[in-house]
Structure 1
Amino acid sequence: MGKIVISTNMSLDGVIQDPDGQEGFRLGGWFGEFGGKDLEAWTRLETNEAMNAQALLLGRRSDEWFASRWNGRTGEWADRLNSMPKYVVSSTLEEAKWNNATVLSGDVISQTSKLKHESTGDILVYASYQLVRTLLEHDLVDELRLVVFPVVLGAGERLFSETSDKVALRLSGTRSLGDGLAFLTYETVR
């Protein structure tokens, strides 16, 4: 059975909105502004993670965002992301934008459960925050890998929202990335 892994960047107070500043959010752009020279270590981490993953699981908007930025890139990380299988969860999309992608329509829970059971490796979820919340709510997430940036934004869309119950997690790893980023790994407790 595969493992669903949420891999994301966030501010210290959990904000995930507009990291690159291209969405128009007044506090956007925090990724580059507060990542600085630590982004070299972040890139190594992300490249290694992608090289060891089996597939990507994305929502429709994340598929569009990544396709517009990654389809034309080359290099070890880009080549891996562009070539790996991708699954895009959407009730409206007929064809995914990013290459090598399959659209999963219908019931997101059953489709994701089926994908997880048919897989053998890590299935990474980048961005796709509505999908992340749904997966957490239905106990389909196995691990969270969070890169925390040294800034408190005080406003913006956060990774976690209301849940119908508690989600128990166990800290399984911590490390610094450069001088200012923290990499935290949590496993879900079942």
Structure 2
Amino acid sequence: MTNWGADIQQYFHGVWRLMTGRADGLRYLDISVDGFWNSFYAVPVSLPALLINWLAFANEAEALMLLPMSRLEIVLRLALSSIGSWILPLVGLLAVAKQARIADRLIHYVVASNWASALLTWMMLPPTLLQIFFPALAEIAMFLSLVLFFLTLFLSWRVTVVALAKGAAMGTGVFFGMLVASIATLLILQSLLGINVGSL
């Protein structure tokens, strides 16, 4: 990447077009072997938004004395579980892509999925900020979070279907497979690391 800001803006524009059902959004992404590896820069691009969420959880967990560890330990363990649940399902998909008959569209999907995940991570940030700066509006923040959660699921599904270009049935199958794999990986890692987000 020669110009981080311009590249990220272009990639976000591309995945937004995919989210709105326009296949030409792929033209704004780097669908090459280098682009495949560079798409994992989406993880550090997402880190500021993720960090705010992790810190909000750590502060609340410490205040309620729910976890026998420091805020830094909580944040580090949340980081490991969150990033693991992002990367590991993609590794699993790489292993089964040929059998799933999507190998020819795998780079398209991974590149689009990574940059879409980064954009959606930032889209999910407002409810957390609302809870941090306006605690009295916690119920509104929770409702907004729920609405955004279902919206991001729909947009992720749209990206999957358009990027794979294998039809709605195949795209839907891959989407739900990756969703289940991501949630399962997150829960397993959180359990192994002693983090129970559901306790709050």
TM range (shorter): under 0.3
TM-score relative to the length of structure 2? 0.25
Higher helix share goes to which structure? Answer: 2
Q: Which protein has the larger Cα radius of gyration, Structure 1 or Structure 2?
A: 2
TM-score by length of 1: 0.25
